[in-house]
């Protein structure tokens, strides 16, 4: 038995999504990223004596949105609590969070597994809290700086059930949440700027065991790739440890992306006693059904709903629909492309067009964007322009093969599809006379091959196709060429 078949991996994720409010969760300061240190921190954020927090209603609205989108229970009454600990980037000496009574409980999200089946991942809770500031060490000799711009930024901490069974599943879930919060426009999802962060609780147990193994919490992972690598490293570490007679100790571990390893940060014994208690400065958050209904009415079409619609309306496969709906922007781009195509004569043609658009968006366009490290929103080729290119494939002005050249030309700034086609003289030849003329020239230049063909050597047909295409610089309509060539080779 190998290690992989003997051990079951159990993962739960804690995701911190920074809510896209204009101001902080308990003060009026702005939340823009990248401002000069301490320029976006007012007296409340600085924890000055006498100041009091006032809850930002937008943060509540966004949390409710997330709850509704994950089929969760939105608590009619939730409570802010203080999590007490000393740290220089925590001005009040406590973080205002939610503890016993979070705003969102018992939701779930479906993820798609490699074999095409879906798995439901439970969301234990999602609660509102404030972010801490940042300690700065660079460029300061013998001292640490503190930037409190981030202090008080609203976070939604989304805690999953330990339902994930591999790093791959964890990533699928993480991406699903990432996609969802962006669909809901409650978080910009920017992982480099720390707007979307993740801690992973990882343990292993023998297959069939009921009890979970001892878990370690991995902190400080700020990209999908690193989350996957950190989990895989941690799983291997725990299995090695147990198999060599050791014991996993409950602790917090830090992922080092340079060394690709996790290392111990603090053990359970060293962990803080946070002395949570309800924050007496804030009233319980009471959410009326009318408010929930109001928020529900603002929900956009969610990724799963959109994917289902893409399948039924455009006849796309589940896979294609999943890829195209991974982000609201990509789905929007795709739909804008399809809607800019000429009206199809029948349903079959419409589906063929939709599939053509899907292939181009997921294929050439995505490849080009990836190569330049761009996202769909900043694509130099907008949806109507891509549709212009596809229109010329559909109306047989160019072949699919030449279309790739045209795409490159457009990408390089050569203008719209027609401009590139004309500039490069790529317009497909469908004129029967012109094709006949080219074929006649080829026949005249190849008397030997012609005689052999007519004597029954059918496979020389390909030779003539090639020669005729060459003579038309590849522009002849392939179907028309084949038909005319067959007739002319047969002789009068």
Partner 1 sequence: MSFHTASIADLSKGLAAGTYSSVELTRYFLARIQRFNEGLNAFITVTEEQALAAAAAADAQRAAGQAGRLTGVPIAHKDIFCTAGVRTSCGSRMLDNFIAPYDATVVARMAAAGIVSLGKTNMDEFAMGSSNETSWYGPVRNPWDHAKVPGGSSGGSAAAVAGRLVPAATGTDTGGSIRQPAALVGISGIKPTYGRVSRYGMIAFASSLDQAGIMAPSAEDCAYLLGAMAGFDPRDSTSVDRPVPDYVAELGAPLAGLRIGVLTEFMGQGLEAETGARVREAIEVYRRLGATVVDVSCPRLPLSVPTYYVVAPAECSSNLSRFDGVRFGYRCEKPRDLLDLYQRSRAEGFGPEVQRRIMTGTYVLSAGYYDAYYLQAQKVRTLIAEDFKRAFAEVDLILCPTAPGPAFGIGAKVDDPVTMYLNDIYTIGANLAGLPAMSVPCGFDGGLPVGLQLIGPHFSEGRMLAAAHAYQRETDWHQRVPAAYA
Q: Is 82 in the site for partner 1 (CB under 8 A)?
A: yes
Q: Is 362 in the site for partner 1 (CB under 8 A)?
A: no
Separation of alpha carbons 475 and 178, rounded Å: 45
User: Which residue among 22, 275, 296, 457 contacts partner 1 (CB under 8 A)?
Assistant: 275
Q: Are 411 and 417 in contact (CB under 8 A)?
A: no
Separation of alpha carbons 406 and 14, rounded Å: 46
| Angle separating helix axes 478-490 and 432-445, nearest 10 degrees | 50
Name residue 194's beta-bridge partners. none
Q: Is 277 in the site for partner 1 (CB under 8 A)?
A: yes
Binding mask 10-49 for partner 1 (x = CB under 8 A): ---------------------------------x--xxxx
Q: How far is the CB of 151 from partner 1 (least distance, A)?
A: 11
Listed ranges 12-20, 279-287, 302-310, 387-395: which one lies at the site for partner 1 (CB under 8 A): 279-287
Separation of alpha carbons 224 and 192, rounded Å: 11
Q: How far is the CB of 14 from partner 1 (least distance, A)?
A: 20
Q: How far is the CB of 137 from partner 1 (least distance, A)?
A: 13
Residue 146 neighbours by CB under 8 Å, 6+ apart: 38, 88, 89, 133, 134, 135, 136
User: Which residue among 94, 233, 333, 407 contacts partner 1 (CB under 8 A)?
Assistant: 94
Q: How far is the CB of 55 from partner 1 (least distance, A)?
A: 7
Q: Are 234 and 240 in contact (CB under 8 A)?
A: no
User: Which residue among 30, 35, 37, 51 contacts partner 1 (CB under 8 A)?
Assistant: 51
Listed ranges 15-23, 83-91, 104-112, 217-225: which one lies at the site for partner 1 (CB under 8 A): 83-91
Under DSSP, the state recorded for 377 is G
Listed ranges 90-98, 312-320, 390-398, 401-409: which one lies at the site for partner 1 (CB under 8 A): 90-98
Separation of alpha carbons 169 and 343, rounded Å: 41
**Residue with Cβ nearer partner 1 (93 or 466):** 93
Q: Are 355 and 394 in contact (CB under 8 A)?
A: no
Q: How many residues bind partner 1 (CB under 8 A)?
A: 28
Q: How far is the CB of 93 from partner 1 (least distance, A)?
A: 2
Q: Is 55 in the site for partner 1 (CB under 8 A)?
A: yes
Q: Is 92 in the site for partner 1 (CB under 8 A)?
A: yes
Q: Are 214 and 203 in contact (CB under 8 A)?
A: yes
Listed ranges 231-239, 269-277, 332-340, 345-353: which one lies at the site for partner 1 (CB under 8 A): 269-277
Residue 118 neighbours by CB under 8 Å, 6+ apart: 110, 111, 112
**Residue with Cβ nearer partner 1 (93 or 342):** 93
Q: How far is the CB of 158 from partner 1 (least distance, A)?
A: 25
Computed from CA positions of residues 284, 153, 225, 139, in that sequence, does the dihedral angle turn out positive or negative?
A: negative
Separation of alpha carbons 113 and 115, rounded Å: 5
Q: Could you tell me the maximum CA-CA distance found in the chain, to the nearest angstrom?
A: 103
Q: Is 140 in the site for partner 1 (CB under 8 A)?
A: no
Q: How far is the CB of 275 from partner 1 (least distance, A)?
A: 4
| Alpha helix segments (H runs only) across 200-346 | 224-243, 289-296, 303-314, 318-324, 328-339
Q: How far is the CB of 85 from partner 1 (least distance, A)?
A: 8
**Residue with Cβ nearer partner 1 (275 or 487):** 275
Separation of alpha carbons 201 and 253, rounded Å: 10
Tell me which residue of 441, 455, 448 sits closest to 485, measured CA to CA: 441
Q: Is 265 in the site for partner 1 (CB under 8 A)?
A: no
Q: How far is the CB of 43 from partner 1 (least distance, A)?
A: 6
Q: Which of residues 143-202 bind partner 1 (CB under 8 A)?
A: 146
**What does R_g of the chain's alpha carbons equal in angstroms?**
30
Separation of alpha carbons 137 and 114, rounded Å: 43
Listed ranges 78-86, 114-122, 231-239, 423-431: which one lies at the site for partner 1 (CB under 8 A): 78-86
Q: How far is the CB of 248 from partner 1 (least distance, A)?
A: 23
User: Which residue among 110, 193, 243, 281 contacts partner 1 (CB under 8 A)?
Assistant: 281
Secondary structure class of 437 (helix, strand, coil): helix
Distance from the Cα of residue 365 to its chain's centroid: 16
Under DSSP, the state recorded for 167 is H
Listed ranges 82-90, 194-202, 397-405, 450-458: which one lies at the site for partner 1 (CB under 8 A): 82-90
Q: Is 280 in the site for partner 1 (CB under 8 A)?
A: yes
Rule CB under 8 A: which residues touch partner 1? Answer: 43, 46-55, 82, 84, 86, 88, 91-94, 146, 273, 275-277, 280-283
């Amino acid at each position: 038995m190998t290690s992989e078949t003997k051990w079951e991996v159990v993962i739960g994720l804690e995701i911190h999504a920074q809510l896209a409010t204009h101001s902080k969760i308990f003060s009026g300061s702005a939340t823009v990223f990248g401002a000069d240190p301490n320029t976006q921190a007012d007296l409340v954020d600085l924890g000055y004596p006498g100041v009091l927090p006032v809850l930002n209603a937008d943060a509540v609205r966004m949390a409710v949105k997330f709850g509704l989108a994950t089929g969760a229970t939105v608590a009619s009454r939730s409570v802010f609590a203080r999590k007490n600990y000393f740290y220089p980037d925590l001005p009040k000496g406590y973080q205002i969070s939610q503890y016993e009574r979070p705003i969102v409980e018992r939701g779930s999200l479906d993820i798609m597994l490699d074999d095409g089946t879906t798995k439901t991942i439970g969301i234990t809770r999602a609660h509102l809290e404030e972010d801490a500031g940042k300690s700065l060490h660079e460029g300061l000799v013998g001292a640490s700086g503190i930037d409190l711009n981030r202090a008080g930024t609203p976070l939604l901490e989304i805690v999953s059930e330990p339902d994930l069974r591999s790093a791959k599943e964890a990533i699928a879930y993480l991406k699903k949440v990432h996609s969802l919060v962006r669909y809901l426009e409650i978080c910009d999802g920017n992982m480099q700027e720390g707007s979307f962060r993740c801690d992973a609780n990882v343990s292993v147990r023998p297959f069939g065991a009921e009890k979970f193994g001892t878990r370690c919490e991995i902190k400080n992972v700020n990209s999908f790739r690193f989350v996957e690598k950190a989990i895989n490293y941690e799983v291997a570490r725990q299995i090695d440890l147990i198999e060599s007679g050791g014991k996993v100790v409950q602790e917090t571990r830090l992922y080092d992306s340079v060394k690709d390893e996790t290392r111990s940060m603090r053990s359970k014994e060293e962990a803080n006693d946070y002395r949570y208690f309800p924050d007496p400065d804030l009233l319980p958050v009471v959410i009326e059904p009318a408010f929930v209904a109001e928020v529900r009415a603002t929900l956009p079409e969610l990724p799963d709903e959109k994917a289902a619609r893409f399948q039924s309306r455009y006849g796309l496969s589940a896979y294609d629909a999943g890829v195209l709906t991974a982000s609201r922007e990509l789905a929007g781009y795709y739909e804008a492309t399809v809607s800019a195509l000429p009206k199809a004569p029948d349903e079959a043609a419409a589906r063929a067009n939709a599939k053509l658009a899907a292939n181009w968006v997921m294929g050439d366009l995505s490849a080009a964007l990836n190569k330049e490290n761009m996202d769909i929103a900043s694509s130099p080729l907008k949806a109507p322009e891509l549709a212009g290119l596809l229109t010329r494939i559909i109306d047989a002005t160019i072949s699919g093969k030449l279309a790739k050249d045209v795409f490159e030309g457009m990408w390089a700034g050569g203008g719209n599809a027609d401009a590139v086609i004309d500039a490069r003289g790529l317009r497909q030849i469908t004129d029967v006379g012109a094709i006949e003329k080219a074929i006649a020239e080829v026949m005249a230049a190849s008397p030997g091959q012609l005689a052999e063909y007519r004597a029954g050597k059918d496979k020389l047909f390909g030779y003539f196709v090639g020669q005729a295409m060459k003579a038309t610089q590849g522009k002849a309509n392939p179907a028309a060429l084949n038909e005319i060539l067959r007739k002319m080779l047969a002789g009068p």
